[in-house]
C-alpha cells in the first residue's frame, strides 16, 4: 500500500494524517479508527512523512504528471503544461483527498511524429502563451518519444485551436451558385457580366 493510498483510505474512515510541529505524523479522529490504522502508519512512517511534506505544498516540488486521488473512485492521471506544484493541483481539484507527482510509463510511438502534428502542437503552445524555447523543445522531444504525451498534446491542440473553415467558398461563376441552380427564370443581382459578355461572375453573392 503506497503512502497516498494510506492517507486517502484513512481519511475515508475519519482519520486525518498530518505533520506535527516536530515533523512526525499526527493522527486525529475517532479513537477506534485511529487505533485500527496505527500499525499501518508505523510500518510506512517514513514514506507517509515524505508524502505529507509534499502535501504541505513544498514550492520546490513541481511535476508535469500528477496522480489525483478521490474518495470514492479510481485515481486519475493528469498532465500539466507548464508544470504545476502540489498546492496548484489541490486548488485545481478541490474534490481530491490527495495528489502526488509520478513518472508515467513511457509507451513508444508506433511511428515518427509527422510535421502536421508538430506544427499543431507548437501552435497550441503559442496559444497558451508558452514561449520558453527550452519548454517547447522539451514538449516536442517528449512527443517524439512518448506516445501518450503525443496523444495528450495533439488532443489539446485539436480541441482548443481555432478550426479552419470546413468548406471554403471557392465559387467563381454563377453556374456554380446553388442559389441559381434550377431557377432559370430568376436573376441574381449579385452577379456581374464578364468583360466579353460571357457568363456572369460572382461579386457579392453569399
For residues 123 and 116, what is the distance between their CA atoms, to the nearest angstrom? 10
For residues 200 and 206, what is the distance between their CA atoms, to the nearest angstrom? 15
For residues 132 and 110, what is the distance between their CA atoms, to the nearest angstrom? 29
The alpha-carbon radius of gyration of the chain (Å, integer) is 29
Predicted pLDDT of residue 165 = 64
Q: How far separated are the first and last CA of the chain, in Å rounded? A: 65
Instruction: Name the grid cell of 150.
Output: 503525443
Whole-number Cα distances in Å, 70 to 10, 75, 139, 170? 13, 6, 28, 52
Task: For the chain, give the mean pLDDT.
Answer: 77
Between 17-21, 68-72, 102-106, the lowest mean confidence (pLDDT) is in 17-21
Please state the pTM of the whole predicted model: 0.42
Q: Model confidence over 122-167: pLDDT tens digits?
A: 999 999 988 888 889 989 998 999 998 899 899 999 999 988 765 5
Predicted pLDDT of residue 166 = 57
What's the average model confidence in pLDDT over 5-28?
80
Name the residue with higher pLDDT: 62 or 193: 62
Residues above pLDDT 70, as percent of the chain: 75
Between 32-41, 125-134, 184-193, the lowest mean confidence (pLDDT) is in 184-193
For residues 98 and 71, what is the distance between their CA atoms, to the nearest angstrom? 9
Predicted pLDDT of residue 172 = 55
Amino acid at each position: 500500500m503506497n503512502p497516498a493510498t494510506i492517507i486517502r483510505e484513512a481519511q475515508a474512515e475519519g482519520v486525518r494524517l498530518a505533520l506535527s510541529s516536530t515533523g512526525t505524523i499526527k493522527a486525529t479522529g475517532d479513537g477506534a479508527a485511529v487505533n485500527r490504522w496505527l500499525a499501518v502508519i508505523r510500518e510506512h512512517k517514513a514514506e507517509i512523512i515524505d508524502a505529507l511534506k509534499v502535501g504541505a505544498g513544498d514550492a520546490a516540488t513541481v511535476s508535469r504528471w500528477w496522480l489525483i486521488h478521490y474518495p470514492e473512485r479510481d485515481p486519475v492521471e493528469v498532465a500539466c503544461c507548464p508544470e504545476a506544484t502540489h498546492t496548484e493541483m489541490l486548488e485545481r481539484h478541490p474534490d481530491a483527498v490527495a495528489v502526488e507527482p509520478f513518472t508515467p510509463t513511457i509507451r513508444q510511438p508506433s511511428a515518427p511524429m509527422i510535421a502536421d502534428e508538430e506544427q499543431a502542437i507548437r501552435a497550441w503552445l503559442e496559444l497558451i502563451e508558452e514561449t520558453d524555447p527550452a519548454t517547447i523543445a522539451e514538449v516536442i522531444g517528449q512527443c517524439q518519444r512518448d506516445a501518450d504525451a503525443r496523444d495528450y498534446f495533439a488532443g489539446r491542440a485539436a480541441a482548443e485551436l481555432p478550426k479552419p473553415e470546413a468548406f471554403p467558398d471557392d465559387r467563381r461563376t454563377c453556374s456554380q451558385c446553388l442559389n441559381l441552380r434550377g431557377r432559370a427564370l430568376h436573376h441574381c443581382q449579385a452577379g456581374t457580366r464578364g468583360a466579353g459578355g460571357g457568363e456572369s461572375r460572382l461579386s457579392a453573392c453569399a
